[in-house]
A = this chain, B = another copy of it.
């Protein structure tokens, strides 16, 4: 007999797609992988590894915590190193915050759509996830306000949201912050894509605009440096650092010290900004290539906005299709995509696909769009025959 939460572990569809996406002949728009060319490769000045072999501190390496806190202050967060907890990438931050705040049945407020793996983790801990729409015109702030009082915390990715790509304006951020303050709420702001801004810098986080509500702000080095490092961080309201540190201790004592030393070196040498500056042209080119490819091949089949940051196009099909059949046919045809319905906690909108543009190169993006268009034409032809 297993724990009840095991029944809530999501089906393996997404895992199956991502596993199939690694086939050598596959063009994958499915995951959220950085370009191979964009991966940061730390150098060891004298060819020697740092001296990090003993047990370390649960909160993280002091040097890295200081550097992260300084970064937080540069984003307008009122914080010191004592409020920083180093984690094994954002996913662990989501696990720890779930443990901090979610009982079975706890109502949680999230964007609709929202980051798939966060919804999965919240559900695993038994959350009752309520949603408010984030559409082409931004968040439905009235719907957010109406639900704040009935929910324990609000999970937001306001900057180049996964999957929609939307970036909240300054006015929207201020309105959300004021609503959270008025409701004495808790904000969990997940901000992994902030530096991947292709057209203009992102507005400052919502967290720094709060006056009363408590908060957890999460950042990651997976998208800017390298996911294999498994390193991210939480900067949190003073009330939360002690329980989160104890939860981290119970989860795995502390994060990998080698990665922490390498990232601290990178930050101290001011290499992060330079690395991001070298990555942005690669991603901007791929984003533009995907817009051109979609316009050329899917213009009559779908609509989308060009994302101003992040890693994804959020594509709305004009005619609904049998998404499972489309996915299967896509894997056969060598094109992996991610169905949009998995990103909705409540009633899913089944007309969306999420397409990643960072991992495939521009030529593959064009070929992939061609393959996808052929599948959609075929699906629509079959649907017309049935109708």
Q: Which A residues contact B (CB, under 8 angstroms)?
A: 1-6, 9-10, 12, 15, 31, 33-34, 36, 39-42, 44, 46-49, 51-56, 87-89, 91-92, 95, 99-103, 106, 117, 120-121, 124-125, 152, 222, 226-230, 243, 246-247, 249-259
Contacts and interface: CB of A to CB of B under 8 A. Distances in A.
B152 A246 contact: no
Nearest to A246: B9
A33 B54 contact: yes
B15 A54 contact: no
Contacts of A36: 54
A179 B265 CA distance: 53
Nearest to A231: B256
14 contacts: A15-B246, A39-B53, A39-B54, A41-B51, A53-B226, A55-B228, A56-B228, A87-B252, A88-B255, A89-B252, A120-B250, A124-B247, A124-B250, A251-B251
A41 B53 contact: yes
A252 B53 contact: no
B251 A91 contact: yes
**Sorted from nearest, which 7 A-B pairs have the closest CB atoms?**
A47-B47, A53-B226, A39-B53, A92-B252, A256-B256, A88-B252, A228-B257
A228 B135 CA distance: 45
A227 B258 CA distance: 11
